[in-house]
Amino acid sequence: MNNFRPKTTFIGKKNIYLPTCQSTNDEAALLLQQGAVAEGTVVITDHQMAGRGQRGSNWQAAPGQNLTFSIVLRPAFLTAIEQFRLNIAVSLGVWAGLMPLLGKDLKIKWPNDLYYKNQKIGGILIENVLQSSRIETAIIGIGLNVNQSDFTNPHATSLRNITQQMYDLWEVLADLLLKIEENYLLLRSGHYNRLKMRYLQNLYRYQEIHLFGQNDTVFEGMIIGVGETGKLAVQIGNELQHFDLKEINYLV
């Protein structure tokens, strides 16, 4: 940790390592409440006791074997309605950091899960603080399964399970931070369209026909894009429908 020096310009230049905590997102929020926090500050822990996931779920990771960290960003160049753009840049950053290790079967599952084939290897929880319709601060929480080999959930996997290798967590972290920064800087310098195109190119089940579920109904559809506010655009027969996170489930 003491000699952790990612090749970034600002993300991860300041790091706060906590052997254990409830949630790195909560720790980052606490720091922000307490006063000035440099943009790019990373809070990282070996053991999260109350890790949080999307849709009110929890995030579980075996202590010391995985990456669980949060990055503080200040994307005031984005308005509240552009929040999904940050999601695109960060997911692509994580994807690009892992791609050299995992190859083309690595995909981004909308909105921001990392999938290898049909199993989840990582997830992202972004929590924004808005001020007069701009994003004042964003806490980017990332959980990545690295060296853990046993999972109770059959849909979960790790770098180790995929490649049969063990990884240095700090090295993987440095790769991720570099790519997240690269993509964030592209977003900040006005290259959203390029990022969105890459996001779609690497989206899980993009332009493939699959079964989806909504409440008690099952339907066949094809993901054809993502709307400006981040809703998933699915072509169902002759109709184009947009879904929120809670409104659609991917089936087989």
For ligand BTN, which is the closer residue by CB, 89 or 142? 142
For ligand BTN, which is the closer residue by CB, 113 or 181? 113
CB of 136 to ligand BTN, least distance (A): 19
Decide if 24 contacts 141 (C-beta within 8 A): yes
Decide if 134 contacts 73 (C-beta within 8 A): no
Q: How many residues sit in the footprint of ligand BTN (CB under 6 A)?
A: 20
**CB under 8 Å to 11, separation ≥6 — which residues?**
40, 42, 71, 177, 180, 181, 184
Instruction: Considering only residues 38 through 77, tell me which ones interact with ligand BTN, judged by CB under 6 A.
Output: 48, 51-54, 57, 59, 68-70
CB of 43 to ligand BTN, least distance (A): 9
Decide if 36 contacts 147 (C-beta within 8 A): no
Instruction: Considering only residues 138 through 167, tell me which ones interact with ligand BTN, judged by CB under 6 A.
Output: 141-143
Nearest to 138 by CA among 85, 210, 59, 67: 85
Residue number closest to ligand BTN, CB atom: 123
**Which member of 113, 145, 196, 198 binds ligand BTN (CB under 6 A)?**
113
Number of CB atoms found within 10 A of residue 37's CB: 19
- Give me the residues that bind ligand BTN (CB under 6 A), please: 23-25, 48, 51-54, 57, 59, 68-70, 113, 123-125, 141-143
